[in-house]
Amino acid sequence: MNNILLSIIGPTAIGKTSLAIQLAREYQSDIISADSRQFFQEMNIGTAVPSKQELEMAKHHFIQHISIQQEYTVGDFEKEALNKLNYLFTKDNPQIMVGGSGLYIDAVINGLDKFPKVNPEIRIQLNSDLKEKGLPYLQQQLNVLDPITANKIALDNPQRVIRALEICIGSNKPYSSFINQPKEKRNFSTIKIGLTAPRDIIYQRIEQRVDIMMNNGLLEEVKKLLPYKNLNALNTVGYKELFLYLENKCSLETALDEIKKNTRRFAKRQLTWFRKDKNITWFDVTTNPLEDILTFVNQKTAPQD
């Protein structure tokens, strides 16, 4: 079982953390977190960070290891995660990566596309345009400079739009021209395990999780972070909606409804991303598939005749 990475994938609130811990205990493995929202020390309740008890049950890496005020890119994560895995693979056990951030997962398993460095003033100007002219203006600009990317990325995500535009403007080439170039081969093989459920079950789990977060003190957590609301790390579901409530721009009921709605949309985008990958083997969590998953992993890792 040398140099095998078990990658546990699926939408938010599906039960990835629980499965990862069960597999880590079965195979004496560590867990690499590929949930980009759980990287930040100051964000705990709203990002569903594993509990103290869960963290004690298995060794986790990349959980609350940086501050919201630090610059931390997917490239930084790729480099650090690969270094950690190279060390962990010396134990001759399979290792586990778990998370719902598709870009971060792909960075570790497949490698990132390489982009040229561009003048940072371009991003500053684009952020200014976003504030003054709105997201539709940037979307139209991207559609002109790179219609291929405009048709592929989530255009409702301003950071994705700005990232694509800064490459287009800074390099005088379409962002899409840098995509899917040959990448460095990894020194491990990956078994991809996807968790899913009927859509109504996923949505029910999401609504229950939001209610639990509120009962656990999410509003108090967000209040403490209000002075930092303009940081990129906090432009995320569960925080941005409550910032509006704290600024008297909506009612608490409206904010909670928006959190649930936006989390459902996020889960839908996650599933759309992952279902493009034909190498994922899916398991329905409503059937309690742990034994089936263990059998599947053991078959995939058994020596071949």
> In this structure, are 31 and 169 located in the same domain?
no
> In this structure, are 167 and 209 located in the same domain?
no
Whole-number Å distance between alpha carbons of 185 and 169: 30
Look at 38-42, 76-80, 181-185 and tell me which has the smallest mean pLDDT: 181-185
**Domain C-terminal end among 132, 161, 178:** 178
> In this structure, are 130 and 37 located in the same domain?
no
Ligand-binding annotation for 12, yes or no, is: yes
Look at 45-59, 71-85, 170-184, 194-208 and tell me which has the smallest mean pLDDT: 170-184
CATH of the domain at 51: 3.40.50.300
**Domain C-terminal end among 178, 198, 225:** 178
> In this structure, are 257 and 219 located in the same domain?
yes
Ligand-binding annotation for 46, yes or no, is: no
Angle at the Cα of 281 from the Cα atoms of 7 and 22, rounded to 5 degrees? 50
Ligand-binding annotation for 295, yes or no, is: no
> In this structure, are 222 and 76 located in the same domain?
yes
> In this structure, are 85 and 104 located in the same domain?
yes
> In this structure, are 35 and 51 located in the same domain?
yes
Ligand-binding annotation for 16, yes or no, is: yes
Q: What is the mean pLDDT of residues 13-30?
A: 97
> In this structure, are 213 and 290 located in the same domain?
yes
Which phi and psi angles does 301 have, rounded to 5°?
Answer: -100, -5
Specify the pLDDT at position 162.
96
pLDDT band at residue 305 under the 50/70/90 scheme: low
pLDDT tens digits for range 119-175: 999 999 999 999 999 999 999 999 999 999 999 888 888 989 999 999 999 999 999
**Tokens (6 digits) for 61:** 């890496």
> In this structure, are 75 and 221 located in the same domain?
yes
**Domain C-terminal end among 132, 160, 178:** 178
> In this structure, are 137 and 192 located in the same domain?
no
> In this structure, are 92 and 190 located in the same domain?
yes
Ligand-binding annotation for 217, yes or no, is: no
Ligand-binding annotation for 158, yes or no, is: no
Residue 1 has pLDDT above 70, yes or no: no
Residue 40's CB: how many other CB atoms inside 10 A? 24
- What is the pTM (predicted TM-score) of this model? 0.85
Of the candidates 11, 9, 13, 4, the residue with the CA atom closest to the CA atom of residue 205: 13
Whole-number Å distance between alpha carbons of 26 and 9: 18
Specify the pLDDT at position 218.
98
Range of the domain at 81: 4-112+183-301
> In this structure, are 165 and 191 located in the same domain?
no
CATH of the domain at 148: 1.10.20.140
pLDDT tens digits for range 63-101: 999 999 998 999 999 999 999 999 999 988 999 999 999
DSSP string covering 108-135: HHT-PPP-----HHHHHHHHHHHHHH-H
Q: How many domains does the chain have?
A: 2
pLDDT tens digits for range 249-281: 999 999 999 999 999 999 999 999 999 999 999
pLDDT band at residue 18 under the 50/70/90 scheme: very high
Specify the pLDDT at position 303.
76
pLDDT band at residue 110 under the 50/70/90 scheme: very high
